Structure 1
């Protein structure tokens, strides 16, 4: 069967990407090997001096909190917006580079690093703009036998990682992507785009449009699903056990 090739434009600091995890995880579980996912780090926040989100009226850290609160209310995902008062993050570039450094060890290393960074900032209020926090996460992944911390540390500020991240930034710009999350889906000779926080029903509609024979209505066994992921939030489990509220943003 032909695969769905997907470029996933995102950023570790993007609250809407974290909000979208339940739907994306369900999609990945159902499509299994038919989904080929490539991560593109979009570089949401280089620094506050150059940041101005006119759509959400955000130009300084304290203004980011209400947006995170909104993402929490709409999605149901656990998000600690108080970090923007207590310990504001000053850049997402380091976290993006950490994901690329993880990718140099393995695809699993890349995904695990992205997930752990998101959990750290969204749920645990850790400042992912600090090297110590990123290395602490690398240590946790080493304990889980997912990557080698010494290698990760060497890669993190290497020319190779800088080049990979620059390629991602260039790819984001060339594709005209200005909002995260965005999925560019390639199937046969067509390209489809899904932008922003979307309910699973919209993902299902898009993928069924590409392949009318696709069945995304499978009843998922809760235990099998739970064992498929290192960690699941309550909201992620809710996505497969009952129909959550259908909101998009």
Structure 2
């Protein structure tokens, strides 16, 4: 049986993806010998959807307690402060380009980078629309900042990112987080929205076991 691939469709601005982050990181550690994991950017907030945080404030303040209770993550005070202030523009474009650039520079985990992007916003309250704000994050991954910055500002990587958005669209991914486990020509949608680690682990093990048996 060829090595399975797990595609994690997420968006840096997706709160439920922030909540799902501990789950997908644990799954990668558990199954990395059998499954190749990749984060795929979704482009959730682009074009007409770009808006100030103030327009989402009431909805978010209502949704966040349930999200924290269900997932165990906590929104940081710096983020709560910028939510209250409200002027931050919600725009997925630059953080999604950052993921494309990251994947072009290293074979290290894109799952870990996705999580770090979300921590930067949702725990540290840092604006992901500003190029210079990525420096500390990039250096924490031991990547050369000047190279990363140059690529981040290169239109070619913006184009590659928009091509990546089409992967989810072509696969019919309608929301985030979504997870597809792919083995050969067979793809299994194993999460649409938040799902617990125990449920995810059970379904991955069941599919791997079935595929192993079928390949004998």
Q: TM-score, normalised by structure 2?
A: 0.82
Match of 1:61 in 2: 56
| Residues in 2 aligned to 1:150 and 1:105: alpha-carbon distance in whole angstroms | 12
Q: Can you list the C-alpha shifts for 1:198-245, whole angstroms capped at 9, x where unaligned? A: 01222123213213389xxxxxxxxxxxxxxxxxxxxxxxxxxxxxxx
- Equivalent residues in 2 for 1:66-215, closer than 5 Å: 66-80=62-76, 82=80, 83-87=82-86, 88-108=88-108, 110-111=110-111, 113-138=113-138, 141=139, 144=140, 146-193=142-189, 194-212=191-209
Does the Cα contact within 8 Å between 1:4 and 1:34 map onto a contact in 2?
yes
User: Over aligned residue pairs, what C-alpha RMSD do you find?
Assistant: 2.6
| Residues in 1 aligned to 2:132 and 2:143: alpha-carbon distance in whole angstroms | 17
**Alpha-carbon spacing, 1:145–1:7, altered in 2? closer, same or farther (3 Å):** closer
Q: TM-score, normalised by structure 1?
A: 0.72
Deviation at residue 98 of structure 1 after TM alignment: 1.0
* Structure 1 unaligned residues grouped into runs of 5+: 53-57, 215-249
Question: Whose helix fraction is larger, Structure 1's or Structure 2's?
Answer: 2
Does the Cα contact within 8 Å between 2:50 and 2:89 map onto a contact in 1?
no
Q: Which has the higher contact order (CA 8 A, sep 6+)?
A: 2
Deviation at residue 189 of structure 1 after TM alignment: 4.5
Match of 1:232 in 2: none
| Residues in 1 aligned to 2:109 and 2:206: alpha-carbon distance in whole angstroms | 32
Does the Cα contact within 8 Å between 1:187 and 1:210 map onto a contact in 2?
no
